Chains A and B, each alone.
Chain A
């Protein structure tokens, strides 16, 4: 189990004559991912969801807050001793084209982390025969739905995008991770192949007990990974709504969540649009607004209080999910299928 409390991260961007500008990427984010569970982070690009994934995979450091992995607070460890913990969190990149080394065959790509794993197990007294690496590579490729005989001797450029993404997942599995962080893992894959990758991630949850942290802008895919999962809606580095996937989608209470869900195209003919769709007001330079509620400049329901005070995550108004809004109101914004009678 992995938890985070009050994770903050600020990037300083170099700019103009007046010196740097501080850009907060994460403003005190709390989360918890159960073993075998699913958590999805949704939001627009630049909202901080990718940064969070990278922090969890140990690729980026955070400024303050505490991450605990299996009950061990990371701040209590030296960077070197932290590494094995972060290795239990593996990142599946968005771009399957740059995620694999073009000069190495799939066999080489998989055997490097596997031989590392073999050495670790030897040290732990559970030594494996030499043939284990090859066997395990085949086993993992079969697990992700690929034909090892075909894939192993090939270079990445000889595989399709969907196959590459499966190889990337197999590589992440070489170190027996507890959490897979899938950052927009299907956005660069052909539409007809996306569901296959999503189904694989879902299947890995069931078969290996791997938890999946799903980072996406496409809420429907988050729903496919696990209807039992937790949904986090992030706006400009702050979690504005958090709750069970189905609850947040069917009855969102934060205006930002409502705007985000309202923006999802409706398949007219198959679906009828939600009745209370929310269209955010367009504000120039909303990103410079730092007082009060972060969403206030674009919020159609804002009041004077929203401009001066920042709401915090909670169950105000007795909603089943947590939210950070002074005026929570459940609205039906999502399109519903046309019933065939």
Chain B
């Protein structure tokens, strides 16, 4: 018997190995996905290592204010003569860190509340969903404006925390409706009938079935957070202490007059291009999520 038995650990290891091989297969199916993954990875690296590439503070070339694009300054320079590319690269950390924190909070909170609400139903469901509705009806931007008057968002993490706490409502609603439909499925009923713990049912049976959904929401939350904070800085409601794409936009438009003269145009376009590229990368990767988390589509 001992020869024929497949050891439990061995079998699950095979499964896991197959998962990553499957992910690789899914990504390779369309070149656009690889491009998307490369872009997202590029931005992640930029966020982590970008600031290390440049001296702090960034050197200023007072001889070349608003310099046009050149080999030395691919996107020109700003009002102080600082290289725009360097600004974009070093500014990525704040933006991406905020976005990551926001995405994590949105998804963790939204998923947890949605799962709990949909699985428990009854009184808890009503209470949590009324709360969610209330949250969804509060307009985000005006609230942020009000908040910014009493609270200075000095750090990226604080910023992400606030955006995350404001953004989980949609995910919670969506996850709840998914849970409600999944809990009627035969395999969930069987798990209940077998007496498996609620932790197991939620964590091992429900959650994996919703993984593509959650992954998609995470990525979309990242773009949402980028827009939100860049927008806030652009409007100038927040003090700019750190280097940031939104600050760049603000200075380009209100300081450099990028909308009326061409001199500051590269200064304006560089952060916009970065945001556009990041969004594009995420959209391209989202396309693969369904296939990655659905074994049938993955193994095909």
Interface residues of A in 82-139 (CB under 8 A from B): 83-84, 86-87, 90-91, 93, 95, 98-105, 107-108, 111-113, 116, 130-131, 133-135, 138
For A195, the chain B residues whose CB sits under 8 A away are none
- Of A84, A87, A95, A112, the most chain B CB neighbours within 10 A belong to A112
Determine if B295 and A102 form an interchain contact, defined as CB atoms under 8 angstroms apart: yes
Q: Does B147 contact A (CB under 8 A)?
A: no
Which residue of B is nearest A138, CB measured? Answer: B5
Say yes or no for A225: interface residue by CB 8 A criterion: no
List B contacts of A87 (CB < 8 A): 193-195
Would A98 and B14 be within 8 Å (CB), given that A59-B192, A104-B204, A116-B194 are in contact? no
Once the chains bind, are A153 and B11 in contact (CB under 8 Å)? yes
Interface presence of B42 (CB below 8 A): no
Q: How large is the interface on A (under 10, 10 to 19, 20 to 34, 35 or more residues)?
A: 35 or more
Asked whether A175 is an interface residue with its Cβ less than 8 Å from the other chain, the reply is yes
Is the CB–CB distance between B193 and A95 below 8 Å?
no
Interface-lining segment among B120-128, B165-173, B182-190, B229-237:
B182-190
User: What's the nearest-Cβ distance from chain A to residue B20, in Å?
Assistant: 15
Chain A residues near B187 (CB, 8 Å)? 98-101
Min C-beta distance of B240 to chain A, whole Å? 46
Residue pair A134, B194 in contact (C-beta under 8 Å): no
CB of A152 within 8 Å of the partner chain: yes
Q: Are B193 and A91 in contact (CB under 8 A)?
A: yes
Q: What 0/1 pattern do residues 17 to 44 of B give for CB contact below 8 A with A?
A: 0000000000000000000000000000
How many residues belonging to B are interface residues under a CB distance threshold of 8 Å?
34
Contact (Cβ within 8 A) B193 A108: no
Asked if residues A108 and B295 are in contact (CB atoms below 8 Å), the reply is no
Instruction: List, in ascending order, chain A residues with CB within 8 A of B204's CB.
Output: 104, 108, 112
Given contacts A93-B186, A133-B8, A158-B299, contact A103 B208 (CB under 8 A): yes
Tell whether A168 is near chain B: CB-to-CB under 8 Å: yes
CB of B6 within 8 A of CB of A174, answer no
Asked if B6 and A149 sit within 8 Å, CB to CB, the answer is yes
- The verdict on A91 contacting B11 (CB below 8 Å), with A112-B200, A149-B6, A158-B299 known, is no
- Whether A93 pairs with B6 at a CB distance below 8 angstroms is no
Query: In the complex, which residues of chain A have a beta carbon less than 8 angstroms from the beta carbon of B145?
Result: none
Which residues of chain A come closer than 8 Å to B260, judged between CB atoms? none
Report chain A residues within 8 Å CB of B294.
102-103
Q: Contacts A104-B208, A108-B12, A157-B295; is A168 near B6 (CB within 8 Å)?
A: no
A157 CA / B14 CA spacing, docked (Å)? 18
Q: Which residues of B contact A95 (CB under 8 A)?
A: 186
Are A138 and B190 neighbours in the complex by a CB distance under 8 Å? no
Contacts of A103 in B (CB 8 A): 208-209, 211, 293-295
Whole-angstrom distance between the alpha carbons of A174 and B294 in the complex?
A: 26
| Interface membership of A171, Cβ < 8 A | yes
Complex CA–CA separation, A100 to B194 (angstroms) = 13
Which of B6, B189, B196 is A91 in contact with, Cβ under 8 Å?
A: B189
Question: Which residues of B sit under 8 angstroms from A107, Cβ to Cβ?
Answer: 6, 8, 11-12, 15
Answer whether residue A58 sits at the interface, using C-beta atoms and an 8 A cutoff: yes
* Distance between Cα atoms of A103 and B187 in the complex (Å): 11
Contacts of A59 in B (CB 8 A): 189, 192-193
B57 at the interface (CB under 8 A from A): no
Q: Are A116 and B190 in contact (CB-based, < 8 A)? A: no
Give chain B interface residues in 194-220, CB to chain A under 8 Å: 194-197, 200, 204-205, 208-209, 211
The answer to whether the Cβ of A224 comes within 8 Å of any Cβ in the partner chain is no
Measured in the bound complex, the distance between the Cα atoms of B187 and A86 in whole Å is 17
Is A52 at the interface (CB under 8 A from chain B)?
no
A57 near B193: Cβ-Cβ < 8 Å = yes
Task: Tell me, in angstroms, the Cα distance from A93 to B186 when the chains sit together.
Answer: 7
Q: Does A155 count as interface, using CB distance less than 8 angstroms? A: yes
Kindly state whether residue B296 has any CB partner on chain A within 8 Å. Answer: yes
* Bound-complex Cα distance A113 to B204 (A): 12
Once A149-B6, A157-B296 are accepted as A-B contacts, the answer to whether A99 and B190 lie under 8 Å apart by CB is: yes
0/1 per residue, A240-279, Cβ < 8 Å to B? 0000000000000000000000000000000000000000
Closest B residue to A91 by CB, please name it: B193
- A129-178 residues with Cβ-Cβ distance < 8 A to B are 130-131, 133-135, 138, 148-149, 152-153, 155, 157-158, 168, 171-172, 174-175
Q: How far is the CB of A130 from chain B (nearest CB, A)?
A: 8
Which chain A residues lie closer than 8 Å to B200 at the CB level? 112
Contacts of B5 in A (CB 8 A): 131, 134-135, 138
CA distance A90 to B6 in the complex (A): 27
Interface string of A45-78 (1 = CB under 8 A from B): 0000000000001110000000000000000000
User: Given A93-B186, A112-B204, A153-B15, are A131 and B7 also a contact pair (CB < 8 Å)?
Assistant: yes
Residues of A within 8 A of B191 (CB): 112
Does B134 reach chain A (CB closer than 8 Å)?
no
**Interface residues, chain A, with chain B CB atoms under 8 Å away:** 57-59, 83-84, 86-87, 90-91, 93, 95, 98-105, 107-108, 111-113, 116, 130-131, 133-135, 138, 148-149, 152-153, 155, 157-158, 168, 171-172, 174-175
Q: Which residues of B contact A (CB under 8 A)?
A: 1-2, 4-8, 11-12, 14-15, 185-187, 189-197, 200, 204-205, 208-209, 211, 293-296, 299
Q: Could you list some 11 contacts between A and B, CB below 8 A?
A: A83-B195, A84-B195, A87-B194, A100-B187, A105-B15, A107-B15, A138-B6, A155-B295, A155-B296, A158-B299, A175-B195
Chain A to chain B: the 5 pairs with minimum beta-carbon distance, closest first: A99-B186, A103-B208, A157-B296, A93-B186, A98-B186
